[in-house]
């Protein structure tokens, strides 16, 4: 026979263990969220750094054996662009594609905020078509012209 006092004590112990477990789960969720945000930030940083020629390679710029995608001082325009066109190169012999250049387009805020997604696509389309024509007869590489635009929706 089990005494009521023993049952109450056992229930209180289990409730205490449950609270500890809930606190642990909450702590692990916070750690997961923080690590996920850090991972996203680092991935973005890696993508940004891949666009910049390393300092030890800068002498190659003068030899025209490599090039810089953009001036690092201008990187903010590439990262925070509203619209843009990216041109990727892909070799016949290699499945890897690499960024050839990026063209950022950031219209005036008032005009941009009033544009619909189809308006944005219309603005970029002539540039994409011109680039397609420019690279049409390139025999050694496949050229990918990718247009992009973003729309921020503010909620309250």
Q: Rounded CA gap, 64 and 144, in Å?
A: 23
Asked if residue 33 belongs to a domain, the reply is yes
Asked if residue 143 belongs to a domain, the reply is yes
pLDDT for 32: 92
**Residues 145, 93 within the same domain:** yes
* Residue 48 near residue 79 (C-beta atoms within 8 A): yes
Q: Rounded CA gap, 145 and 134, in Å?
A: 11
Asked if residue 100 belongs to a domain, the reply is yes
pTM score: 0.47
pLDDT for 38: 92
pLDDT for 24: 92
Q: Which residue range(s) make up the domain with 7?
A: 1-50
Asked if residue 71 belongs to a domain, the reply is no
Q: Rounded CA gap, 142 and 139, in Å?
A: 8
Domain count, the chain: 2
Asked if residue 125 belongs to a domain, the reply is yes
Ordered mean pLDDT values, 10 residues apiece, the chain (156 residues): 80 89 92 92 74 67 59 68 80 71 79 83 87 78 79 68
Asked if residue 123 belongs to a domain, the reply is yes
pLDDT for 33: 93
């Amino acid at each position: 026979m089990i005494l009521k006092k023993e049952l109450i004590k056992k229930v209180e112990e289990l409730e205490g263990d449950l609270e500890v477990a809930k606190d642990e789960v909450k702590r692990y969720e916070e750690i997961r969220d923080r690590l996920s945000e850090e991972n996203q930030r680092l991935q973005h940083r890696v993508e940004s750094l891949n666009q910049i020629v390393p300092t030890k390679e800068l002498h190659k710029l003068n030899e025209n054996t490599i090039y810089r995608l953009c001036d690092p001082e201008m990187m903010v325009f590439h990262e925070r662009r509203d619209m843009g066109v990216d041109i990727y190169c892909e070799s016949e012999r290699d499945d890897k594609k690499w960024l050839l250049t990026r063209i950022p387009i950031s219209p005036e805020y008032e005009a941009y905020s009033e544009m619909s997604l189809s308006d944005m696509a219309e603005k970029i389309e002539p540039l994409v078509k011109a680039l397609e024509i420019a690279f049409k007869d390139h025999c050694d590489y496949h050229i990918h012209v990718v247009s992009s635009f973003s729309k921020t929706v503010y909620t309250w």
